[in-house]
Structure 1
Amino acid sequence: MPGKLVSAGLLLWGLLSSFGAAAADDMLNAKTKANYVFNFTKFVEWPALMNDTLHVCIVGAEPIVNFLSELASRDTKGHLLQIWSGIDDPQICQILYIGHDAPELQALIQQVRGNQILTVSDAEGFAGRGGCIGFYSENGQIKLEINPDAVRRAQLKVNALLMEIARIVR
């Protein structure tokens, strides 16, 4: 009987530790994505930006909101960052991050199409479906894919350095 109790205890510990590791990975991924989004403010130009404030709207990705809020006071090429969690009117955004499980993902892409809004998501194939920048995972790392046609439709300019590190999709 003691052998079974020890085995059950080890199994439970293994399950809990792997669950904890998965949660830690999710938080690390959210932090990485938030850092990317923050850095997009330095590598993307909004030609008709009316004031010094960049509005970053996040739909369906609360951990990213939390990490971005911590970064909002850092230098962003002279812009102030305003972080929004959820939105009623996406037209106020310069960056619109839509979480992969947000039910309104496709509707939001269509709603902002042609406006000067950088659309970003971690939804699979996002950039290929008309979004500007998509995140994907490769060998445990978060990577970027950029749709230059979507960026052009949004009337934005993406720095060549950002284009170099991304996979280009159409």
Structure 2
Amino acid sequence: MKKANLSRQILYSLLIVFVLLPRSSIAQDSFDLKAAFTYNFAKFTQWPESRLHEKSAWKICFFGNQYRDSFIELANKKLAGQSIAVIQLSETCAIAQCDVVFIDTNSRDLTRRLFLAVDNKPILTVSDISGFAVQGGMIEIIEQDKRLYFNINSKVLEASGLNISSQVLKLALEVKR
């Protein structure tokens, strides 16, 4: 019974974020929605026990000035009962401190270095770069018909010690195994 309620909560959260929103919202609030997606992906990720027992704040990092205000809003939220610290990155050398990294299309030239920096580490990677999940990223946010969807690379997630809820996997357009 408890598991069914959690599954419903996950579905409702994600459906509200990307399926039920009107098309005009995506155009106006694309940055906010991508930040909200990133937060929800982190929320429904199964993290290693060692991370769950840490007392430090969750660190959600991002590249791109245009996302600053959207990600700063996440600092008011909690993840697994702990506060969130939001960190804007300009280079990949500081990625090791992050739990989650969002890299936007304008930072595409850093993708290869990002993959090297997070290789087999429990750092969730999210992006709106076309082909991100196929190239080695974990979650790729896609805009189609002025709505947001996502693809997941479960092989990369598992190699890093992370798992994402099966309910989230069911909502993905594509899951690469």
Structure-2 change in CA distance of 1:121 and 1:114 (3 Å) = same
Give the Cα separation in 2 of the matches to 1:69 and 1:118: 18
Q: Matched residue of 1:134: which SS?
A: strand
- Work out the percentage of aligned pairs sharing the same amino acid: 24
For the aligned residue pairs, the C-alpha RMSD in angstroms reads: 1.8
Structure 1 residue 157: Cα displacement: 1.7
Unaligned runs of 5+ in 2: 1-24
Amino acid at match of 1:79: Q
Q: Which protein is richer in helix relative to its size?
A: 2
**Equivalences for 1:133-148 in 2 at 5 Å?**
133-148=139-154
Cα deviations across residues 131-151 of structure 1 (Å, max 9, x unaligned)?
000011111111110000010
For normalisation by structure 1, the TM-score amounts to 0.78
Higher relative contact order (CA 8 A, sep 6+): 2
Amino acid at match of 1:32: L
Name the counterpart of 1:12.
none
For normalisation by structure 2, the TM-score amounts to 0.75
Alignment length (residue pairs):
146
Deviating above 6 A after TM superposition, structure 1's stretches of 4 or more consecutive aligned residues are none
Structure 1 residue 69: Cα displacement: 1.4
Give the Cα separation in 2 of the matches to 1:154 and 1:77: 19
Q: 1:121 aligns with which of 124, 127, 131?
A: 127
Name the counterpart of 1:59.
63
Name the counterpart of 1:74.
77
Structure-2 change in CA distance of 1:162 and 1:156 (3 Å) = same
Give the Cα separation in 1 of the matches to 2:79 and 2:73: 13
Name the counterpart of 2:175.
168
Q: 1:91 aligns with which of 93, 96, 99?
A: 96
Q: Does the 8 A contact of 1:27 with 1:63 survive in 2?
A: no
Give the Cα separation in 2 of the matches to 1:25 and 1:32: 7
Larger radius of gyration: 1
Amino acid at match of 2:38: V
Give the Cα separation in 1 of the matches to 2:128 and 2:163: 21
Give the Cα separation in 2 of the matches to 1:27 and 1:81: 25
Q: Matched residue of 1:101: which SS?
A: helix
Unaligned runs of 5+ in 1: 1-23
Name the counterpart of 1:13.
none
Give the Cα separation in 2 of the matches to 1:41 and 1:148: 14
Structure-2 change in CA distance of 1:137 and 1:165 (3 Å) = same
